[in-house]
A = this chain, B = another copy of it.
Amino acid sequence: MERLEYQEGRTEISHLGRVALIERLTADSGCQGDDCAVIGEGEQKTLVTTQTLVEGVDFDMMYTPLKHLGYKAVAVALSNIAAMNGTPRQVLVSVAVSNRYSVEALDEFYAGIHLCCQRYDTKLVGGDFGSTRAGMVVTVTALGDVAADHVVWRRGAHHNDLLCVSGDLGSAYAGLLVLEREKVTYQADPNFQPDLAGFDYVLERFLKPEPRVDIVRELARRGVVPTAMTDVSEGLADSLLHLTRASGCGCEVYEDRIPIDYQTSRVCSEMSKNMLPVSCALNGGKDYELLFAVAQSDYERIKEMEGVHIIGYVTEEGMPAVMVTPQNTTIELKAQGFARQ
């Protein structure tokens, strides 16, 4: 019998980093390292993705209604299907909870799951149910499909392709900041009534994100197959680095092209004069929007697409991933650490 702490030659996970760790652990496995695994031999591919959310790390029960949590757990998994240009079809939900959770609490959680499934025409086909000693752990596995010649990886971007994002960025993180602020105040004074008025958009962005299945559908309708795509789950900087590294190229994006909602800017100015909205967009994460590259020849097809913004373009192999400010300063984008949120 041995205890984990006594191991010799110990390397901390934080030292290696999450992405490097996944690469290390799955190096020999034929694992794709993309948003989904792509399986099947025929014309129609099956996409599969799995994602675990842990209470106290990925969500805080203090301000996460269980119905929203169920919705979000499914939405996050479906976002991975959308990120490979797929249509979601089925989900499986594996839940483990402590005895602190009642059946009624789980009913609420599943109501959120059913709602998201219904909205995205996806069936809940299975799952597992177990116990923990403390807290809740949710794993959603999502399956989807896509024609073999329409699968979009992170690795297909080419020099001069246009870089686009859907929706706006940084708003989910702004919502989280509001909730964290109210939580701290509430903890100091339990009689305190949280005032969330005027923040409805950013709160909804954090608590109930929507996978951009609509963007995938609209791209198909317009006959556009992106050259590369990923979802923006850990911030725009992280997604840009993933996409450009996988594609073996660099990128240049323009700060004033990055779509940011006015509520996000308002939260930033209320929080601190040093907090920039663009930092929320680059590093905040949890927006679950899509970042994709399209060939210049598709410009006419996407330029007026609702909710899509061209933020820059793909540069040559060997070039870094950079952002250009309105003052024409070039800032190199950096990878984020291990923390998810």
Contact = CB atoms under 8 A, between A and B. Distances in A.
B54 A127 contact: no
Interface string A13-55: 1111010011011101111100011010000001011111110
Contacts of A104: 7, 9-11
Contacts of A90: 37, 39, 48
A92 B50 contact: yes
Interface stretch (A129-137, A146-154, A155-163, A282-290): A129-137
Contacts of A16: 103
B141 A50 contact: yes
A100 interface: yes
Interface stretch (A117-125, A244-252, A271-279): A117-125
B340 A124 contact: no
A94 interface: yes
A193 to B, nearest CB: 10
B28 A106 contact: no
Interface in A63-106: 63, 89-90, 92-97, 99-106
A4 interface: yes
A194 interface: yes
Given A52-B139, A137-B137, A21 B106 contact: yes
B139 A94 contact: yes
Chain A interface, >50% SS class:
mixed
Nearest to A35: B126
B14 A126 contact: no
A52 B53 CA distance: 12
A93 to B, nearest CB: 8
A102 B106 CA distance: 33
A50 B133 contact: no
Contacts of A50: 50, 92-94, 126-128, 139, 141
A339 B131 CA distance: 8
A197 interface: no
Give the residue among A1, A21, A93, A124 with the most B Cβ atoms within 10 A. A1
B100 A141 contact: no
A58 interface: yes
A49 B92 contact: yes
A114 interface: yes
Give the residue among A13, A31, A117, A339 with the most B Cβ atoms within 10 A. A13
A304 interface: no
A339 B133 CA distance: 12
A12 interface: yes
16 contacts: A1-B183, A10-B102, A13-B106, A31-B125, A39-B143, A48-B90, A50-B127, A50-B128, A54-B96, A54-B130, A54-B137, A56-B132, A57-B130, A131-B340, A132-B137, A139-B139
Smallest CB-CB A-B distances: 8 pairs: A37-B125, A37-B126, A29-B124, A139-B139, A11-B103, A10-B102, A52-B94, A141-B141
